[in-house]
Amino acid sequence: MSKHLEHSVAIITGASSGIGQATAKRLAASGARVVLVARRANRLEVLAEEIRDGGGAAKVIAADITRAAEASGVIAQTIAEFGRLDTLINAAGVMLNGPSIESPLSEWDQMVDVNLRGLMYVTKAALPHLLEAVASSPRQVVDVVNVSSVAGRFAAAQVAIYNATKFAVTAATEAWRQEFTKRNVRFSVIEPGATATELFEQKSGQWEGFTSIFGEVEQLHAEDIADAAHYIVCSPRRVAINEIVIRPTDQP
């Protein structure tokens, strides 16, 4: 595989499973030095060893990005280790859908904290270093890729707070794109449909709720979304992929 991202540094949040994990592998295979971020350190260590065994470079940072100090600490540790930051993949996410009357407020808070505040905290801390990296980047461009959802494009019953967080991610990404595009910081959003990750397993009944609306579908693989992230980041400087929507073929 060609090393389009050689000498670059990428942070991937939510790297302990699913889309984050698959994206870390994909970028590492293209030569990026990857910083793996999540709370589950043991899973990150396993992934880091796999990447290193394949000839890549990986650093593990166990952190709770819903805490602003830990999120900024991720960026500080990355700069201390590698001296730069070229790519940020915000893939951490949680989905806890269900009837609003029955859903605990703590679940709503958790979705806002992980899906929105965590992304916001990491992005805020990363921006100065991304801007600095542009000047010395062989590609003359840096990237922030936010993983949203098709739930950031349409609302559905029993999905109110997840919808709210993902609509916010999609909107914030577009606003940041407009703000930073002239400074060669590309902001992109990926909006996957049903994907075979741990997302549906985070609360019982979510898959049944999905299939009651859309029927049974052949779910996307995490690697399908990782391919999209890789395409975004590896595109030439002149090409900015603003938004990618990826649904299973069976999903209306």
Q: In 30-159, where does DSSP find H-type helix?
A: 41-53, 68-82, 105-111, 119-134
Are the C-beta atoms of 148 and 242 separated by less than 8 Å?
no
- The 10s digit of each residue's pLDDT in 182-228 is 999 999 999 999 898 877 778 777 677 667 677 788 999 999 999 99
- The 10s digit of each residue's pLDDT in 1-44 is 568 899 999 999 999 999 999 999 999 999 999 999 999 999 99
Question: In Å, how far from its chain's centre is CA 39?
Answer: 15
Residue 154 CB contacts under 8 Å (≥ 6 apart), including other chains: none
Q: What is the mean pLDDT of residues 105-131?
A: 98
Angle between the N-to-C axes of helices 41-53 and 18-29, in degrees from 0 to 180, rounded to the nearest 10? 20
Q: Which residue has the higher pLDDT, 208 or 82?
A: 82
Is the pTM of the predicted complex or chain greater than 0.85?
Answer: yes
Q: What is the pLDDT of residue 3?
A: 80
Q: What is the pLDDT of residue 206?
A: 61
- The 10s digit of each residue's pLDDT in 122-171 is 999 999 999 999 999 989 999 999 999 999 999 999 999 999 999 999 99
Nearest to 123 by CA among 172, 83, 56: 172
Q: Which of 121, 162, 167, 180 is catalytic?
A: 162
219 vs 39: CA distance, rounded Å: 26
> Can you tell me whether residue 200 is helix, strand or coil?
helix
Q: What is the pLDDT of residue 181?
A: 97
**Parallel, antiparallel or unpaired: strands 87-90 and 9-13:** parallel
Sign, CA dihedral 156-161-166-171, equals positive
Q: What is the mean pLDDT of residues 84-105?
A: 96
Question: What is the dihedral angle through the alpha carbons of 125, 244, 191, 78, rounded to the nearest 10 degrees?
Answer: -20
Is 162 in the active site?
A: yes
Q: What is the pLDDT of residue 63?
A: 98
Residue 62 CB contacts under 8 Å (≥ 6 apart), including other chains: 37, 38, 39, 40, 41, 44
- CATH numbers and ranges of domains, the chain: 9-246 (3.40.50.720)
Can you read off the two tokens belonging to residue 145?
Answer: 């890729």
Q: 235: pLDDT confidence band, cut at 50, 70 and 90? A: very high
125 vs 112: CA distance, rounded Å: 19
Q: What is the pLDDT of residue 1?
A: 52
Residue corresponding to tokens 């949203």 = 148
Nearest to 98 by CA among 83, 88, 108, 89: 108
